[in-house]
Structure 1
Amino acid sequence: MSAMLSVDEKQAGDLTAAEREAWRAFTAGGRDLASPYFTLGFLDAAASARRDVRVLVIRRGGSVTGFLPLHAGFMGHARPLGGPLGDHHGLIAEPGSDIALSDVLKAGGVGLFSFFGALGGQGAFAPHALARDGSWVMDLSEGFEAYADARAAVEPKAFRNLRARRRKLESAEGGFEFRIDDRREDVFAAALAWKSAQYRRTGVFDAFSVRWTRDLLKALRHQDDCRLLVSSLEIGGKLAAAHVGMRSAQVLHYWFPVYDPEFSAVGPGLSLLLEIASAMPGEGVREIHLGPGDFMFKQHLGSWQFALLSGFAGQGAPLAVQRAARALELRAERLPLGPVSRLPGKAFRRIDVMAGFHAA
C-alpha cells in the first residue's frame, strides 16, 4: 500500500463542506456515477434511516481522491450502502481511478466487504469479483420516440403487443389517468401495501416488514439531488398500478413497481412504465435503470446493459470463509442436478439478504 494513502471513517453528518463538494465533483464527472444511488442525498437518507452508515474518506497526499459509503457491521463485516435495497454501488471517485479496494479496506479497518452490484467499470472491484451480471438501461437520451423506434426495430413483436395494450388502455371504460409525480399519501401507502402482499404471496422476504426501509423511502422525499418519485396509473377512477422509484438529475431508478391484478388484461405495470418513459425526457432524465435480472420485459425494453460484479474483499479469516462458501455455491450451480443445484446458492443469498435487512 502506498504510504501516501490514508483512510478516515466518518458518519455522513460529519463530512465537511469541502468533502461534500469533492463528492459532488466526482459524481458530476460522467455517466458512471449518474445513478441516484451515488448521490449525497441517498447517503443522507440512508444515514437517517440506519445507524450503521459510514463513509471511508480516501486521501492521497492530503487530497480527497474518493469515498466508499457502506454499512459497518458485526466484527468488521461491511456491506454496500443501501444494503439489500442497493442495486448499484461502488467507489465515489474520478473515472479511471487506480484506487485499490483491498488497500482502502485495510486502512479503514474493514475485515470483510461483500458486494453484489458493484460497477463493473471500476477496476477496484475486478480482482475480487466471483460473478458478473448486468443492469438493464432504457436509453432516453435522444427522446422517447427515438428510443421506442430503436427498440421496436429489435423487438417488433414485443412492441406490437405493447401498442395493443395501449389501445386497450385508451378504450377502457371510464378512461385512464397517469400521474408522473403523484404525492398523494394514499397512493404511496397503497403501493407499499401491495408490494408487501406481493412479496408474501411469492415467498420473497418482505422488504417493508423492517422499519428502516420505510424510513429510507420517507427520507428520500425530502432530498434534492436524489428524490423519491411515485408515479401512478388509474383506470376508471381506480388505482391500477403504481411505481415507487428514485431519481437523480439524469437517471430514474426503476425500483418498486406494483399493480392490481384486476387490471391484468391491459398490462397496467408495463403500461405505467412506458408512460413514465414517455414523460421522463421532458423532466431531464436521460436513462431509466431497470436493474439486473433476466426478466423478459427488461430484455425487451432495455437498450443495453452495464456490468455489475459480486464478490468479497478484505483480509484474514472472514474473507477466506466467505470466498470458500461462494466457490462452493458456484460449483454446485454448475452440476447437472437441475433445480437442486441452485439450492446452496439460494440458501447463502437468502441468509445474506436477511442479515442485510436486520443489520440496522
Structure 2
Amino acid sequence: MNIQVVRPRELGEAERTRWRELQKADPSLDNPFLSVEFAVAMDRLRDYVRVAVISDAGGIAGFFPYERHSFGIGKPLGGFLTTCHGLIATPDLRLDAKALLRACKLSVFDFDHMVAGQPTFAPFEQDVRPAPIMDFTSGFDAWIDQVKSNSPKNLKTVRYKERKLGREQGELRFEWASADPEVLRTLLTWKSDQYRRTGRVDRFAQPWIVELTDMMHAERTSDFAGVLTMLYAGDVPVAGHFGLRTATTLVGWFPAYDTEFGRYSPGIVHHLQMAEAAANDGLHMVDMGKGGKEYKDWLKSGTLYVSEGRISRPSATAAVHWVGRTPLNKARTIVMDRPSLYKAADRVLKGFGRVRTSMQQQESSNGVAKEPTGAR
C-alpha cells in the first residue's frame, strides 16, 4: 500500500474522476462534504488542507482529505463547518490508522462526524451518533405522511401559520436554486444576526468563510452544487437556506429567517416547501445533521450515523491535545444528549447574545466605536 500526500488542487483529472467513482459506488459516501469539489475549494482558501492518495497494485483505492495544523494536529476537512468526513475509498479498504497518520505527518486526529463503521476508523470510535434525514426515496407524499405520523399537531400548526403568512403578508412563493448573489447576501445577514442574537460566534465575520460560501454558490454540476432557496411573502424574502448537494443528497448548512416574521415560524414553513422542491428535483434525501433542534425529530423519516473518536501516535503534542480537548468533547456530548441541558445551554447563550447586543447598541448611541469585525 502506497500513501502519497498532496494538495487537492494538485490532483489530475484522472484522480478526480476516480474520487467521484469511489464516492458514487458507496451510498454511505453520498455527501457533498466528501466531494472532491469541496476539497479543492477548501484548498484554495486554506494553506493547511491536504489529501492522502492511497494506492495499491490495482491503482488508487482511496482518498483521505484532512487539515494539518501546527505541531501535527490533524482535523477533518472543513472542521466545524462540516457535518460529514471520512475516507473516500473502496468499502473494504482497511488501513493501519496510525500508519496513515504517520504518512500524513500527524500526531493526532480528532473526528466527530466520521462516516460510522469505516474499517480504518471503527476501532477508534468512542461514540456513534444519529443524524436525522428527510428520506424521499418513496416520494414526497410518503415523507409528509411520516411527518404527520411523527407529530400531527406540529404539522397542523405549521400549515396554519403558512396560510396565515400568505394571507397577511402576501402570496407565498418558493424559489429553488437561486443564482442571485444578493439573495445569498440577505440570507447570510440573517444568519450573522442569528449567531450574535443567540450568543454564538458569527462564522461570517471570517472573510474566508464568506468567500467559501460564494464559491460553493457558484458551483453547478450534476454531481455537486450549491443550492440557495428562499421563501417569499409577496416580493419580500422571509426565510431561506443555503446548502450543498450531490446528485441525490442535499445537506443542511445555513438556514435563517427574517425575525420580523418570527410569529409565523417561517423557518419551518420554508423547510416544508424546501423538502417538496428537493423531492421534485430528484433528490433522495436531505441530511439535517446530528444534534440540535427539536424540529429535526418530527421532520425526520430516517437516520444516518456518524461517529466521534480520536487517533493518536505517542508524542507530547498528542498528550497536550488530549488534556485540552477530551473534557470539552465529553461535556458537549452530555449536553447534546439531554434535551433539558441543551435547552438550558441555549437559554444561557441567548441571554449572553441579548446582553452583547444591548451593550453594542448603547456604545453606538453614545458614539463609542464598535469593536472591529473579527476581533477576539
TM-score relative to the length of structure 1: 0.86
Deviation at 1:174, TM superposition (A): 2.2
Q: What is the match of residue 319 of structure 2?
A: 320
CA contact under 8 A between 1:135 and 1:292: conserved in structure 2?
yes
Q: Which residue of 1 aligns with 2:367?
A: none
- 1:107 and 2:106 aligned: no
Amino acid at match of 1:179: E
RMSD across aligned positions (CA): 2.4
- Is 2:20 the partner of 1:24? yes
Contact 1:56 1:69 survives alignment (8 Å): yes
**Structure 1 counterpart of 2:209, which letter?**
T
Residues 17-71 of structure 1 deviation map (CA, whole Å, 9 limit, x = unaligned):
3322221111011321111111111112211222221101112236211111011
Identical positions, percent:
30
Deviations, residues 164-210 of structure 1 (Å, cap 9, x unaligned): 22322342342122111222222111111111111112111111111
1:298 correspondence with 2:296: yes
1:216 corresponds to which residue?
Answer: 212
Structure 2 vs 1, CA of residues 294 and 208 (structure 1 numbering), >3 Å: closer, same or farther? closer
1:327 Cα deviation (Å)? Answer: 4.8
* 1:76-104 per-position Cα deviation (integer Å, ceiling 9, x unaligned): 11211112101110100122332332221
| Aligned residue in 2 for 1:167 | 163
Query: Of residues 52, 59, 81 in structure 1, which corresponds to 2:48?
Result: 52
Distance in 1 between residues matched to 2:180 and 2:329, nearest whole Å: 45
Tell whether the 8 Å contact from 1:220 to 1:226 is kept in structure 2 after alignment.
no
Quote the residue 1:240 is aligned against: 238
Question: Match of 2:43, as an amino acid?
Answer: A
Q: Shift in Å at residue 130 of structure 1?
A: 2.7
1:103 & 1:205 partners in 2: Cα distance? 36
**In the superposition, relative to structure 1, how do residues 47 and 38 fare at CA in structure 2: closer, same or farther (>3 Å)?**
same
Q: Secondary structure at the match of 1:89?
A: coil
Distance in 2, Cα, partners of 1:134 & 1:221? 28
1:253 aligned residue: 251
Q: Distance in 1 between matches of 2:211 and 2:240?
A: 19
Aligned length in residues:
337
Structure 2 segments unaligned to the other structure (5+ residues): 346-373
SS of the residue 1:291 aligns to: coil
- Aligned match of 1:33: 29
How do 1:349-360 residues align onto structure 2 when only pairs under 5 Å count? none
Which residue number corresponds to residue 355 of structure 1? none
Cα deviation, 1:262-321, whole Å, max 9, x if unaligned, reads 112221111111111101122121100101114110011011221211222131223334
Q: Does the 8 Å CA contact 1:312/1:323 hold for their aligned counterparts? A: no
Indicate the residue corresponding to 1:227 in structure 2. 225
Aligned to 1:118, what secondary structure does the other structure show? strand
Task: Determine if contact 2:166/2:233 at 8 Å carries over to the other structure.
Answer: no
- Counterpart amino acid of 2:321? Q
Counterpart selection for 2:271 from 270, 273, 276: 273
For 1:3-152, list aligned pairs within 5 A: 5-61=1-57, 63-152=59-148
In structure 2, what is the Cα distance between the partners aligned to 1:171 and 1:264? 15
Say whether the 8 Å CA contact 2:217–2:228 is kept in structure 1: no
Cα gap change, 1:172/1:142 in structure 2, threshold over 3 Å: closer, same or farther? Answer: farther
> Is the alpha carbon distance of 1:161 and 1:332 closer, same or farther for their aligned partners in structure 2, counting shifts above 3 Å?
closer
Aligned residue type for 1:163: R
Q: Please give the alpha-carbon distance, in whole angstroms, between the structure 2 residues aligned to 1:126 and 1:165.
A: 45
> What letter corresponds to residue 292 of structure 1 in structure 2?
K
- What is the deviation of 1:332? 6.6
Separation in structure 2 between the aligned mates of residue 208 and residue 308 of structure 1, nearest angstrom: 26
Q: Aligned partner of 1:28: which letter?
A: K
Q: Which 5+ residue runs of structure 1 have no aligned equivalent?
A: 344-357
Q: CA offset at residue 326 of structure 1?
A: 4.9
Residues of 1 paired with 2:328 and 2:94: CA distance? Answer: 31
Aligned equivalents of 1:294, 1:331: Cα separation in 2: 16
The answer to whether the 8 Å contact 1:172/1:236 transfers is: no
Distance between the aligned counterparts of 1:90 and 1:216, measured in 2?
A: 20
CA contact (8 A) 2:3 2:55 kept: yes
Paired residues for 1:320-339 under 5 Å: 320-329=319-328
Residue 306 of structure 2 aligns to a residue in which SS? strand
TM-score in terms of structure 2 length: 0.83
Q: Which amino acid aligns with 1:305?
A: T
Q: Distance in 2 between matches of 1:248 and 1:184?
A: 21
Question: Secondary structure of the residue that 2:296 maps to in structure 1?
Answer: helix
Per the alignment, residue 354 of structure 1 pairs with: none
Asked if the contact 1:106–1:314 (Cα under 8 Å) also holds between the matched residues in 2, the reply is: no
The Cα of 1:246 is off from its aligned counterpart by 1.3
